[in-house]
Amino acid sequence: MERKYSRLAAIIFTASILIALVGCAKPKVQLQVSRDRLQQGEEVRVSWSSKDAKQVTLNGNPVDKTGAQVFTPDTTTTYLAVATRGNKAARDSKVVAVAPKPERPTLKISADQEAITRGQSTTLRWSSNNADRVTISELGTVPSSGSRVVSPSQSTTYNGTAVGPGGTENASARVTVTEEAPTERPRTTNTGPSPTMAAIFAQNIRPIYFELDKSDLTAESRDTLRRSAAWLTQGSNRSIMFRIEGNCDPRGTEEYNIGLGERRAQAAKEFLASLGVDASRIQTVSYGKERAAGTSEGGPTQAPSWAHDRRDDFIYASGGAPRNP
Amino acid sequence: MKTKTSFLICLLLVLLSPVLPVVAEHQETQPPQEDFRKQIGTIIVTPGNGPNLAVADFISRSAGLEAATAAFNQVLWADLEYAAVSGLVGKSLYPKTLVPDPASLKFDEWSGDPIKADYVAFGNLQNTGGAASADTYLYDVKTKQQLIASRHTGETRRIAHEFADEVVKLLTGRDGIATSKIAYVAGDSIKVMDYDGFNQRNFASDGPMVRFPQFSPDGRYLAYVSFKTGVPNIVVRSAEGGLIGGTSFNATTTSPTISSSGQLAFSSAMGGDGSMEIYVSNLDGSGARRLTRTPHGINISPRWNPQTGREIAFISDRAGTPQVYVMDSSGANQRALIARGGQADSPSWSPDGRYVAFTYGGAGSFQIFVADVASGQLLQLTSQGRNESPTWSPDSRHLSFQSNRSGRWEVWQAHIDGSGQRAITRGGGRSPTWAK
């Protein structure tokens, strides 16, 4: 009994000495964060350690004297640890910058006419927001917003996918193709580009393909262009104005590829001009690698592929008459 | 008794708890390319190779400014660390006495062991009429001289950047980069951000696609390519966004660059030789004059020498594959600067005119290289992932570029010696251009 009391007394004595020794010390606290920049929804681990503290608070809430907590802050947050002992206090803080969560991409696709007869064309229109890359089946990678004249030979659903930092969004538009005209179309001589003419153009003027880093025409491309030139120099087709769009695969560099795409368009323009197609009818544009979609070589008829990416597209602009002479 | 014992144990644990270790900065190192690397190595100051700078935590003197003060301290530290003009003495060694003002500064505490600082930056933040103000000081603690006593008022990150630049200017005599800005392509629009990636704001989104922004050397103008009319052409705006002018040619026109005297240069197919050629014009696109003549060739990526304003670096494939060329801005004296096979693109002249950085590689693999214009020696800056489109910091000591090493194109930054590589965008970015 007596021994027990003396042990207790010894402990209390030691404790008092220690408290007296450290009681005069100023508390210290150190705070660390696992990362100082993150996106909404991501976690940060806040850890702290203190010395000589009676109480420690983290952003005003009492916490263990040494410890860690995981937070998912919504906005830029300052984590402040305060260690107190009596009227002495120490603080340490770190700022965690929180970037807003990237917004989910949006995508809308529509066709001007949802039903067409075979041989007719319609304009497919799309727009997207918050997307880095938009692809549409049949068309490959396309600008984030735009339109394209299409002339499917059978009913087709155009499936679009927009991919951005905030996720993926899908949308589609269906163009139904029928054999006969749904109604008798009044024959008028419209001014402005005729969708029918664009479709006829697209059927007769086919894309050409290039070898890696080259703008020289292959024997196959020359054959294709000879057929195109023959059609373009027939009757009323001679009034057709059109655009050649040069494209590259994604392996080249940003700025030079704009030049390479332009050279590819120019090579086709020169060859067509040498076959009697007036150069003033042709506009050339380069998209560089902006529309490239391939991840391997593949072949020209396989999309997406690098071989398909390295091509000239021929786009109808104006002129011509739907009925050939 | 039980509580007292556990209290004792807690007390002992707290007493013995070790100080958390400082996380060491990760730096990417490259294989050495001797002479040139040695020369470049003196540009970036590493601890022990320059004056020692201590940056004491600023003290909040108004209630409610604790968070702003913490942010200020963090930004100031990050700025002075990335500036790399001095050895920063770690905060764990600092004296316990707070230094909100010159009266609290004890010179010997900072100049003696273990800090051995040459300079100490310190100060306080307070509310002045609704806005935060920082009273900022820099002292030479060896000679006990006051070097800076100034006040900065405004947004917290901004005033920290301003003071960081003031310190750099005093220590080196040159302008710092903390208040500089970077424009870049984000998706199909152009954004501008602070040099450290914060404060991203929209600049322009003309038409379906905009590409290849380039600031004028003084940062007052920005030129870029817009596909608005269907045919890519140049647009020139003031840094505030006002339209200055541009080209409207009926042929692909791309890769603008602005000289220090406010002239524009670009590449265009308008000449009709089946080629892309370099032109110079007035800033608004008028008065275009052709400089190159290579039928069926590609001449692209012109960049004025921002130092002299009298030379243009560009890319040409006149001898086969695309290589870096230089000519006088009159078009005379066209010669290869770098010709070593492979493919080069996007040259960028350092503001001091000494170096040209460019994209170089082949077969889908490209890296950033820096060439010493006088000697032609090369230094490879990057090695991870694919890297393109370099641009220089206004002080010619750092570069920014696009890299896909994280899995997507982001804007990155590095010191001229290849150290200190860091991503500064998170949501995607390409084609950075850096200016005052």
pLDDT of residue A285 exceeding 50? yes
Which pLDDT value is given to residue B430?
A: 97
Residue A247 resides in a domain: yes
Question: Are B295 and B154 within one domain?
Answer: no
With cut-offs at 50, 70 and 90, classify the pLDDT of residue A138: confident
Share of chain B above pLDDT 90, in %: 80
Q: How far apart are CA B89 and CA A260, in angstroms?
A: 52
Which pLDDT value is given to residue B127?
A: 92
Q: How far apart are CA B346 and CA B367, in angstroms?
A: 11
Please give the ipTM for the structure prediction. Answer: 0.86
Q: Per the structure block, which two tokens stand in for B393?
A: 């910091």
Question: In terms of CA atoms, which chain A residue is nearest residue B362?
Answer: A252
Number of domains within chain A: 3
Question: Are B67 and B216 within one domain?
Answer: no
Share of chain A above pLDDT 90, in %: 35
Question: In terms of CA atoms, which chain B residue is nearest residue A31?
Answer: B20
Instruction: Residue B43: give the domain boundaries.
Output: 39-172
Measured between CB atoms, which of B231, B276, B426 is closest to A283? B231
Q: Where among A99, A131, A155 does a domain terminate?
A: A99
Count other C-beta atoms under 10 Å from residue B29's C-beta.
9
Q: Where among B116, B149, B172 does a domain terminate?
A: B172
Mean pLDDT, rounded, for B197-210? 91
Question: Are A224 and A261 within one domain?
Answer: yes
Helices (H) and strands (E) in chain A, counts: 5, 20
Mean pLDDT, rounded, for A316-321? 90
Give the tens place of pLDDT for each residue, B342-355.
999 999 999 999 99
* Contact criterion met (CB below 8 Å) for B52 and B139: no
With cut-offs at 50, 70 and 90, classify the pLDDT of residue A22: low
Which pLDDT value is given to residue B14?
A: 42
Q: Where among B172, B200, B219 does a domain terminate?
A: B172
CATH code at position B66: 3.40.50.10070
Minimum distance, in Å, between the CA of residue A172 and any CA atom of chain B: 20
Which pLDDT value is given to residue B22?
A: 30
Minimum distance, in Å, between the CA of residue B70 and any CA atom of chain A: 6
Which pLDDT value is given to residue A132?
A: 83
Q: Where among A157, A180, A203 does a domain terminate?
A: A180
B184: DSSP letter: E
Question: Are A297 and A243 within one domain?
Answer: yes
Which pLDDT value is given to residue A187?
A: 40
Residue B2 resides in a domain: no
Residue B20 resides in a domain: no
With cut-offs at 50, 70 and 90, classify the pLDDT of residue A4: low
Measured between CB atoms, which of A15, A130, A260 is closest to B4? A15
Q: Do B315 and A256 make contact, defined as CB atoms within 8 angstroms?
A: yes
**Phi, psi torsion values for B55, nearest 5 degrees:** -125, 95
According to DSSP, the residues that pair with A209 across neighbouring strands are A311
Q: Do B428 and A165 make contact, defined as CB atoms within 8 angstroms?
A: yes
Q: Per the structure block, which two tokens stand in for B381?
A: 């800056």
Give the tens place of pLDDT for each residue, A225-274.
999 999 999 999 999 999 999 999 999 999 999 999 999 999 999 999 99
Question: Are B138 and B233 within one domain?
Answer: no
Task: Give B-chain residues touching A80 at CB under 8 angstroms.
Answer: 66-67, 70
With cut-offs at 50, 70 and 90, classify the pLDDT of residue B2: very low
Task: Give B-chain residues touching A286 at CB under 8 angstroms.
Answer: 232, 252, 254, 269
Asked if B229 has any chain A CB less than 8 Å from its own CB, the reply is no
Residue B24 resides in a domain: no
Question: In terms of CA atoms, which chain A residue is nearest residue B267?
Answer: A259
Q: How far apart are CA B27 and CA B414, in angstroms?
A: 10
Which pLDDT value is given to residue B67?
A: 93
Asked if B388 has any chain A CB less than 8 Å from its own CB, the reply is yes
Give the tens place of pLDDT for each residue, A41-96.
788 889 999 988 888 988 888 888 888 888 888 888 888 898 988 888 888 888 88
pLDDT of residue A34 exceeding 50? yes
Mean pLDDT, rounded, for A199-220? 95
Which pLDDT value is given to residue A312?
A: 97
CATH code at position A60: 2.60.40.10
A138-142, A320-324, B194-198: range with lowest mean pLDDT: A320-324
pLDDT of residue B23 exceeding 60? no
Q: Where among B172, B200, B234 does a domain terminate?
A: B172
Mean pLDDT, rounded, for B398-417? 96
Question: Are B371 and B282 within one domain?
Answer: yes
Residue B278 resides in a domain: yes
pLDDT of residue B96 exceeding 80? yes
Minimum distance, in Å, between the CA of residue A255 and any CA atom of chain B: 6
With cut-offs at 50, 70 and 90, classify the pLDDT of residue A2: low
Instruction: Residue A324: give the domain boundaries.
Output: 193-325
A23-27, A196-200, B159-163, B305-309: range with lowest mean pLDDT: A23-27
Question: Are A150 and A201 within one domain?
Answer: no
Number of domains within chain B: 2
Q: How far apart are CA B244 and CA A123, in angstroms?
A: 35
Task: Give B-chain residues touching A215 at CB under 8 angstroms.
Answer: 296
Question: In terms of CA atoms, which chain A residue is nearest residue B208?
Answer: A145
Mean pLDDT, rounded, for B83-95? 92
Q: How far apart are CA A45 and CA A58, in angstroms?
A: 13
In SS3 terms, A8-70 reads as: HHHHHHHHHHHHHHHHCCCCEEEEEECCCEEECCCCEEEEEEEECCCEEEECCEEECCCEEEE
Mean pLDDT, rounded, for A184-199? 56
* Contact criterion met (CB below 8 Å) for A253 and B345: yes
